[in-house]
Structure 1
Amino acid sequence: MKTKRKNVIAIILGGGQGSRLFPLTASRSKPAVPIAGKYRLVDIPISNCMNSDIYRMFVLTQFNSASLNAHIKNTYNFSIFSQSFVDILAAEQTPDNPTWFQGTADAVRQCMPHFLNHEFDYALILSGDQLYQMDFNDMLDDHIEAEADLSIATLPVNDKDAPEFGILKTDSENFIKSFIEKPAKELLPDWKSEVSDDMKSQGKEYLASMGIYIFNRKLLIELMSNPDTKDFGKEIIPQAVENKKVLSYQYEGYWTDIGNIDSFFEANIGLTDDIPQFNLFDNDNKIYTRPRLLSPSKFHKIMVERSLISEGCIIHSKEITKSVIGNRTRIGADTVIQHSYVMGNDLYQHIDDINEDIKNNRPLIGIGERCFIHNAIVDKNCRIGNDVYIKGGKHLADTTNELYCIKEGIVVIRKGAIIPDGFTVK
């Protein structure tokens, strides 16, 4: 039987305004964005913690936090006899802190009084917008064995991706001796590291910070006492490397940063692969979320290929190919969905409301009949009429309007949008 890590607290950073994920973050924070049809992004770090026997977690947020609050309140309820919790700490004004969070480190600093109300030896700091499965026990064991002050999870990356990360170099004992934030491409030749033969064969010879840290309690208190440092990657980590024992924990599994629409879309569509890099079907690494007690999904004369279909759906469409379909999705007859993510609906429409909408020629909640949707994200609670044609692709220029946005060729139908019959984007 597993024992809980009683000397560790986890701090999950909810991120800032999430402008690169707009319009998905127009009315919700980044950690609350739906992923894989039935989960939220925040479920990923929380599940990784629970699978690593860490059951005391704080989620720090300040933008559009209402849906995140509701999700966590309705999902992570532990026994009243347990010390386990997932608490949300929103930015709050106090006599000592009259401002909003000014960066990742500043968010942790402003919330330190709440952390110090709990006993812990180690603080595990995580991002709320990454997709990965990691056993933090291995990282914690290495941290303790090396008697490190701070440990950073690192990932080998190639020269194309390296300029987007903090890049570091280590000595023979994996202690970090130098660190550079988002280096220019011409500087990269001096920043190659020793990696496994498998990583080297893929051209991944640069060690990138994953934004996953373990701090000793004493060091965290010391570093947070300086109000001038606002960010971990730009200030805290480079300063710590100069005079502290900072360990690199090299990770070679699947990991992706959900920083923009393109990476979010590809991460979701990647789940439909025959053998996906992120495994939702793992007995030892379950992804937890809110149990909604929905009915089974219902299909009528449909061809489904390499797709994920969530619970409670009513689907009459002709074809669903390489797509992710969220909870309570309704799709009309003869509709084709390809290479798309349909997030689903929060509620079923009552029969009286359906009849009223039909009478007034208003599209029903869901996707209508004879539609074609390709390379698109359909946010929650949309009403898409009949004979709608949406074909995303690189041929489309970026645009934003009240119904949809186009980013990197991906058409994003905005939450609650009403798309009339015969509407076309191509």
Structure 2
Amino acid sequence: MKVGLNLLPTHKTLAIVMGGGAGTRLFPLTEERAKPAVPLGGKYRLVDIPISNCLNSSIRSIYVLTQFNSTSLHRHINTSYKFDSFTPSFVEILAAQQTPKNSKWYQGTADAVRQNLRYFLEQPYEYFLILSGDQLYRMDYRTILRQHVETDAEITIATTPVNRASASGFGIMQTDEQCHIAHFVEKPKDPAILDTLKIPPDLLRTIGHSENTELYQASMGIYVFNRSILSKCLDNDLEDFGRNVIPSAIQNHVVNAYIFQGYWEDIGTIHTFFKANLHLAEEFPSYSFYEAGAQIYTHPQFLPSSIIRTTSIDQAIISDGCVIEHSIIEHCVIGVRSIVKPGTRIQNSILMGADYYETDFPPSTTGLPAIGIGSDCSIEGAIIDKNARIGNRVLISPHGKSRNLDGEGFYIRDGIVVVPKNSVIPAGTLI
């Protein structure tokens, strides 16, 4: 039976955003913050993506599970998502905690949900939507919920088509033409196994691809569970959904795949973070924050418009509250309150900006460069984290260096120079 989007029981759906991972592959951006709190697109945070997708899908009951370096994430959520007193809407944080029954931190995604299951079951939710806090995509979750209801599935897993070269980096689903999942393999490497996991020809035609195309269904880490099934699947000590719970559930429950064909990027490494951000500044990005009726929400900062003086700008996002003078900006994302002094050239780089203007909180120690980018600097292939102080005549470039290197006041990861939050790079430094 077909179900209209507006008739779906979104009021009986609880969204659970996983925000507790250590994010080691995103170090040093995660040195002082949780991965979902990492700035994105100049003015947003990664966690804004799944929360905004929920709100735009009329799902307004949202928990965010947190654990590592969670202070800035808590602050962001508490200041960004406030609802009036006359609706049942909420975005609430469930931090890892010790209880009489459990004194351990979250051991994985499934364990995190298990430890908080008693809170999720307090209200009569029929469906549980489990989401990752570190992905970039736009999805109307009502579409996956509609398929879940119409097919009488007990679990539905969102998948995205990937080619053979990429398949070994994901959990791959083997389905029939009706998208019923028969088998799951985590990061398959064996060519013979990969041959058995290809999307069948009839299903390829259904989703608009040639039947000769070699594609695989990769798990997006997005799950819909029926209420009773989630309780059954967690009545054990399995730690992770992708590695443990889902392969076990396929043997005993009706588990279907929902094939999502829009843009999706797992922001798991410095390389993917860098690529996804700079892609936002291109002429025709695969993902855009400019989507009528499906805006991305974040903390309103009430900053003044940016001031730009005699500056050449090409393919760049310039956020609010910036002051850029007599410089060249090419293919960059410039975050809020960024200060760029005259004579500087910035190419293929991300400036995350600052949490405050230095005039509001003057530094107690004299002799430090001002927050922002000094004059006559050259910056290429870099991520400059928040509140960094880059002195005059500084050269930053990854060319001619190791792809992974720890330096004084900087790191190189995946061939990208990363200057951590609050770092100081003295005048005249060559990186």
Q: Secondary structure at the match of 1:339?
A: strand
- The 8 Å contact of residues 61 and 89 in structure 1, kept in 2 or not, is answered as yes
Q: Secondary structure at the match of 1:160?
A: helix
Which has the larger displacement, 321-330 or 198-207? 198-207
* One-letter amino acid matched to 2:100: P
Tell whether 2:234 aligns with 1:224. Answer: yes
Counterpart position of 1:162: 167
Q: 1:290, CA displacement in angstroms? A: 0.4
CA deviation map 1:224-283 (0-9, x unaligned): 121x21110111111111121111100111001011100000000000111111111111
Give the root-mean-square deviation of aligned CA atoms: 1.9
- The 8 Å contact of residues 393 and 410 in structure 1, kept in 2 or not, is answered as no
Q: 1:312, CA displacement in angstroms? A: 0.4
Q: Measured at CA, do residues 202 and 65 of structure 1 come closer, stay the same or move farther in structure 2, by a change above 3 Å?
A: farther
Aligned identity (percent) is 46
Q: 1:96, CA displacement in angstroms? A: 0.6
Q: Secondary structure at the match of 2:417?
A: strand
Residue pairs, 1:298-337, within 5 angstroms = 298-337=307-346
Counterpart position of 2:30: 25
For normalisation by structure 2, the TM-score amounts to 0.94
Tell whether 2:251 aligns with 1:236. Answer: no
Residue pairs, 1:380-395, within 5 angstroms = 380-393=386-399, 395=401
* One-letter amino acid matched to 1:367: I
Distance 2:71 2:142 in 1: 32
Q: 1:58, CA displacement in angstroms? A: 0.5
Counterpart position of 1:214: 224
Q: Select the residue among 376, 392, 415 that pairs with 1:370.
A: 376
Q: Measured at CA, do residues 302 and 401 of structure 1 come closer, stay the same or move farther in structure 2, by a change above 3 Å?
A: same
Q: Secondary structure at the match of 1:279?
A: coil
Counterpart position of 2:148: 143
Q: 1:126, CA displacement in angstroms? A: 0.3
- The 8 Å contact of residues 394 and 408 in structure 1, kept in 2 or not, is answered as no
* One-letter amino acid matched to 2:134: D
CA deviation map 1:274-323 (0-9, x unaligned): 11111111112211000000000000100110100000001114210110
* One-letter amino acid matched to 1:296: S
Q: 1:110, CA displacement in angstroms? A: 0.2
Residue pairs, 1:410-421, within 5 angstroms = 410-421=416-427
Q: Secondary structure at the match of 1:107?
A: helix
Counterpart position of 2:430: 424
Which has the larger displacement, 1-10 or 274-283? 1-10
Which has the larger displacement, 72-81 or 202-211? 202-211
Q: 1:116, CA displacement in angstroms? A: 1.2
- The 8 Å contact of residues 394 and 409 in structure 1, kept in 2 or not, is answered as no
CA deviation map 1:338-383 (0-9, x unaligned): 00000000000118938x87xx442101100000100100000000
Distance 1:277 1:192 in 2: 25
Distance 2:357 2:294 in 1: 31
Distance 2:323 2:404 in 1: 32
Q: Secondary structure at the match of 2:168?
A: helix
> How many pairs does the alignment contain?
421
CA deviation map 1:72-97 (0-9, x unaligned): 00000001111111111111000111
Distance 1:267 1:391 in 2: 20
Q: 1:337, CA displacement in angstroms? A: 0.7
Distance 1:400 1:176 in 2: 44
Q: Which runs of 5+ in 2 are unaligned?
A: none
Counterpart position of 1:279: 288
Q: Once superposed, which parts of structure 1, at least 4 consecutive aligned residues long, lie more than 3 Å away?
A: 1-4, 196-204, 351-354, 393-397
For normalisation by structure 1, the TM-score amounts to 0.95
* One-letter amino acid matched to 1:365: I
Q: Secondary structure at the match of 1:381?
A: coil
Distance 2:389 2:212 in 1: 44
Q: 1:397, CA displacement in angstroms? A: 3.5
CA deviation map 1:21-45 (0-9, x unaligned): 0000001000100000100000000
Q: Measured at CA, do residues 178 and 382 of structure 1 come closer, stay the same or move farther in structure 2, by a change above 3 Å?
A: same
Tell whether 2:47 aligns with 1:38. Answer: no
Counterpart position of 1:353: 362
Q: Secondary structure at the match of 2:164?
A: coil
Q: Measured at CA, do residues 99 and 223 of structure 1 come closer, stay the same or move farther in structure 2, by a change above 3 Å?
A: same
Q: Secondary structure at the match of 1:6?
A: helix
Q: Measured at CA, do residues 270 and 137 of structure 1 come closer, stay the same or move farther in structure 2, by a change above 3 Å?
A: same
Q: Secondary structure at the match of 2:185?
A: strand
Counterpart position of 1:290: 299
Q: Select the residue among 340, 348, 356 that pairs with 1:339.
A: 348
Distance 1:17 1:71 in 2: 18
